[in-house]
């Protein structure tokens, strides 16, 4: 952890970087690798996800929630006296949109793959009255 003079320099550099981005320079592209950890179709929490950002920073405990306006992404949070506070979160609206879109797209894809997995299971069943041969089992 930086202390004293080095902490001040790091903070000044971070502030300068933020000001440069606000001045019109484009932010670096963000690469998001989303993994859906669980799907809970009958609950308010529809699933959970983890996101790896640029192969350098991982966020676990992201929730896919069902709200009155449809699905939304809820970042990891803790309960405080006046509600819940996010532990980590996208700072810009562009980053928030990109993260939300990536998580919801991965969730929808996981749902579709799960359904096709069920269909494949049903296709593998032997005709009635005949034993099913399982090669390699």
Domains of the chain: 27-122 (3.30.1120.40)
| Alpha-carbon 131 to chain mean position | 43
Question: What's the rounded Cα separation, in Å, for the pair 13 and 10?
Answer: 5
Residue identified by tokens 């440069």 is 20
| Tens digit of each residue's pLDDT (9 = 90 or more) over 73-101 | 999 999 999 999 999 999 999 999 999 99
Question: What's the rounded Cα separation, in Å, for the pair 11 and 88?
Answer: 19
3-state secondary structure of 9: helix
Q: How confident is the model at residue 136 (pLDDT cuts 50, 70, 90)?
A: very low
């Amino acid at each position: 952890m930086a202390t004293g003079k080095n902490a001040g320099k790091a903070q000044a550099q971070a502030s300068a970087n933020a000001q440069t981005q606000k001045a019109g320079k484009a932010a670096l592209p963000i690469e998001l690798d989303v993994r859906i950890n669980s799907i809970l179709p009958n609950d308010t929490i529809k699933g959970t996800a983890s996101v790896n950002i640029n192969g350098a920073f991982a966020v676990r405990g992201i929730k896919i929630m069902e709200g009155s306006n449809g699905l939304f992404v809820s970042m990891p949070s803790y309960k405080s006296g006046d509600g819940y506070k996010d532990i980590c979160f996208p700072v810009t609206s562009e980053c928030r949109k990109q993260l939300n879109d990536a998580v919801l797209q991965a969730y929808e894809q996981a749902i579709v793959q799960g359904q096709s997995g069920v269909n494949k299971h049903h296709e593998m069943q032997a005709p009635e009255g005949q034993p099913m041969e399982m090669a390699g089992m």
